[in-house]
């Protein structure tokens, strides 16, 4: 019976480790029209807090996108579910910064 409990704990920890690998810690909020670039930092903080609570950090990039670093898996899930940021629609939510282009 003790081995069953250990196996269950092992399966749970494997699932949580797999989930951690899939969910990004750093997300880029992107709008095709570049409207995020002109948004007030106070308004940005208010919307991020409403969606995910206190995040690790939020930075504006030169492109106008927002770089959001989450502090938990739950925050990552909540940030991934965002379709609108205030009245600004988000066309894509990027989960990485670097890109590789092949031939």
What is the count of structural domains for the chain? 1
pTM: 0.67
Of residues 91, 46, 101, 100, the one with CA closest to residue 65: 91
The pLDDT score that the predictor gives to residue 4 is 44
Residue 56, domain CATH? 3.30.70.330
**Inter-residue contact 35 to 43 (CB < 8 Å):** no
Domain-located, residue 8: no
Q: Which helix (H) or strand (E) holds 20?
A: helix 2-22
Domain-located, residue 1: no
Q: What are phi and psi of 37, to 5 degrees?
A: -60, -35
Domain-located, residue 14: no
Domain-located, residue 6: no
- Domain that includes residue 74, residue range: 22-95
Domain-located, residue 102: no
- What tens digit of pLDDT does each residue of 14-63 get? 455 554 556 678 888 888 888 888 889 999 999 999 989 999 999 998 88
Of residues 18, 5, 23, 25, the one with CA closest to residue 68: 25
Domain-located, residue 16: no
């Amino acid at each position: 019976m003790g081995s069953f409990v250990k196996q269950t704990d092992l399966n749970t920890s494997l699932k949580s480790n797999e989930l951690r690998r899939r969910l990004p810690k750093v997300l880029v909020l992107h709008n095709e029209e570049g409207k995020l670039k002109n948004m007030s930092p106070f308004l940005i903080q208010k919307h991020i807090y409403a969606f995910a609570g206190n995040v690790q950090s939020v930075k504006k990039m030169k492109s106008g996108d927002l770089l959001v670093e989450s502090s938990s898996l739950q925050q990552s899930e909540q940030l991934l579910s965002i379709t609108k940021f205030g009245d600004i629609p988000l066309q894509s939510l990027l989960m990485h910064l670097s890109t590789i282009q092949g031939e």
